[in-house]
Amino acid sequence: MTTEELPPLFNWDEMTPKVSRNNALAGQDILSVDQFDREKLSFIFSRASEMRDMVQRVGSADLLRGYVLACLFYEPSTRTSSSFIAAMERLGGGVIPITQGVQFSSVSKGETLADTVRTLEQYADAIVLRHPEVGSARLAADYASVPVLNAGDGPGEHPTQALLDLFTIREELGRLDGLKVAMVGDLRYGRTVQSLTKLLLHFDVSLRFVSPEILRLPLTTMNQVIAAGVDVREVYDVADVIQNADVLYVTRVQKERFADLTQYEEVKNYCEITPELMEAAKERMVVMHPLPRVGEIHYSIDKDPRAAYFRQAQNGMYIRMALLAAVLGRA
């Protein structure tokens, strides 16, 4: 049989073409929360709510069928990687998971980030990247022509986490304006703290930053807070702020970012949210944590209805479904 006689593999008339919807994030990278204004936030939140309804009613849909996402993780992850993978799969797409250690990829042979992303974009329609260096996602985006989503660049930013954090606050408390938010723990190296703080500045909030001296919020972020004119105060003891807080956002001391581990030892047990502390808190408030926790929240708090951290993790999947659909031009 000659090639001219080969019957065609595909019947194009029976296939639906890729439909592109022109939302403001279509084709964009997601590198920093600076890209989001109130309008984009409410777009993502309403799409995320639709994603949740869909998952709860039917489990999955075909919105991203035929699309492939590469998940490239140079740092450990449980929630971020699995929720991105689940997000893609619940929308009918596929995943290239490089999440179980880049030691099994050519990175261990010395391949640069630039070459790795330029290779992955030959196979994938978008790339999720977690990397220990600040600015790595931007560098990857400079090389890749497909959307790059920053899943954490060292102590820099974690925009998709901040979006799910903000979405969780709105879901739990029904609003974002008029809230008192206390952030507790490692405000210096915690990338989720930098990103969430910046997003909260779009709203009428008051902020309390609770940390030991060496883990105070970096000046660059603090200057943005001050420039935004919000009511802000730094305190050492969570007991001083818990009674007024609507949101208590607790974070882990980021051991992996310390150059001097004796300093880590000094602050690692800096704070634990206990049932006794919670007695002073409002009846309607939420305790959040990006997780993993390593002792900051006592396990007995988990059954307290105000403990929102596992619902927060679930919301991560809906937010990432919304983001993936948006950047791929399908939302």
Active site residue 47: no
Cα gap 159→138, rounded to integer Å? 13
Active-site residue (options: 47, 52, 130, 198)? 130
Which residue's CB is nearer to ligand NCD, number 236 or number 310? 310
- According to the binding rule CB under 6 A, does residue 131 interact with ligand NCD? no
Query: x/- contact string, 16-55, with ligand NCD (CB under 6 A)?
Result: ----------------------------------------
Hey, what are 256's tokens?
């992996």
Where does this chain touch ligand NCD (CB under 6 A) — which range of 28-36, 168-176, 250-258, 280-288? 250-258
Strands 247-250 and 205-210: unpaired
To the nearest whole angstrom, how small is the minimum distance from the Cβ of residue 185 to ligand NCD? 9
Active site residue 170: no
- According to the binding rule CB under 6 A, does residue 320 interact with ligand NCD? no
Which residue's CB is nearer to ligand NCD, number 238 or number 288? 288
Where does this chain touch ligand NCD (CB under 6 A) — which range of 212-220, 223-231, 246-254, 295-303? 246-254
To the nearest whole angstrom, how small is the minimum distance from the Cβ of residue 151 to ligand NCD? 7
- According to the binding rule CB under 6 A, does residue 79 interact with ligand NCD? yes
- Is there a contact between 196 and 261 (Cβ–Cβ < 8 Å)? no
Q: In Å, how far are 253, 272, 288 from 300, measured between CA atoms?
A: 21, 12, 15
Residues 277-316 that bind ligand NCD (CB under 6 A): 290-291
Hey, what are 310's tokens?
């596992």
274: left (phi over 0), alpha (psi -120 to 50) or beta: beta
Cα gap 234→182, rounded to integer Å? 10
- According to the binding rule CB under 6 A, does residue 193 interact with ligand NCD? no
Sequence-ordered strand ranges (E) for the chain: 68-73, 94-98, 126-131, 148-153, 179-184, 205-210, 231-235, 247-250, 286-288
Strands 205-210 and 179-184: parallel
- According to the binding rule CB under 6 A, does residue 192 interact with ligand NCD? yes
Among 47, 158, 208, 330, binds ligand NCD (CB under 6 A): 158
- According to the binding rule CB under 6 A, does residue 159 interact with ligand NCD? no
Which residue's CB is nearer to ligand NCD, number 63 or number 288? 288
Active site residue 138: no
Return the CA Rg of the chain: 21
Cα gap 324→331, rounded to integer Å? 8
- Is there a contact between 91 and 47 (Cβ–Cβ < 8 Å)? no
Q: Tell me, what DSSP letter sits at residue 209?
A: E
To the nearest whole angstrom, how small is the minimum distance from the Cβ of residue 309 to ligand NCD? 10
Active-site residue (options: 109, 220, 262, 303)? 109
Cα gap 29→125, rounded to integer Å? 12
Among 80, 194, 195, 211, binds ligand NCD (CB under 6 A): 80
Which residues of the chain form contacts with ligand NCD (CB under 6 A)?
A: 79-80, 152, 158, 161, 191-192, 251-252, 254, 290-291
Give me the active site residues, please.
79-80, 109, 130, 158
